[in-house]
Amino acid sequence: MKQYLPTKETIRAQKSLGPVRDLLLEPELWHFHRRAVSGAVFIGLFCAFLPVPMQMGLAGLLAVFTRCNVPISVALVWITNPFTFAPIFFFAYKLGAWLLDMEVAKIEWEFSLSWFWSTMAAIGGPLLLGSVICGWVSGLTGVVLSRWLWRRHIVRRWQRRRALRAARRAGRASN
């Protein structure tokens, strides 16, 4: 995994990172340990469901300020990508409209900035509510799943180590 991560020199050379550049040099933000990974999973999944531009930047900033793994939080934002954002945000909108007891507006979908601004007044509230709820639920589910997988991995390593020690003891006892 480390071969794909940027080096300190690469980060230091990025002038576009501005004031966050020095914060990103903290080694803790690049380590893979249980707390950093599970926190990054929550941040990445939560930010993926927010209908805002610059989701990756937001996820990166939140990861820096909460001392979580930056690459994981930024990578998980790509759950909402050009192929998945429409169904995901439509579901979030329908969820928000259902929770607010509003009727789902009949809107002609088109991919333009003018369409976005003209329909945001009608769908903004339900979309935001549904997105926050979807992000929260998926983030919490991701935390629980990542912690369970982490624990399962550790327990299996312990069991393998224990079995290896037992095999060595049995081999010494037979000699």
* Cα distances (Å, whole numbers) of residue 93 to 3, 15, 122, 163: 39, 38, 11, 52
Handedness of CA 42, 46, 47, 49 (dihedral sign): positive
pLDDT digit string, tens, across residues 73-103: 989 999 999 899 889 999 999 999 999 998 8
Band (pLDDT 50/70/90 cuts) for residue 114 is confident
pLDDT at 99: 93
Instruction: Name the pTM for this structure.
Output: 0.78
* Cα distances (Å, whole numbers) of residue 42 to 37, 55, 62, 159, 164: 9, 14, 10, 29, 36
How big is the CA angle at 58 (ends 104 and 96), to the nearest 5 degrees? 15
Quick one: which of 15, 27, 14 has its CA closest to 64? 27
pLDDT at 143: 95
CA distance 71 to 37: 10
Report the mean per-residue pLDDT for the chain. Answer: 85
CA distance 34 to 68: 10
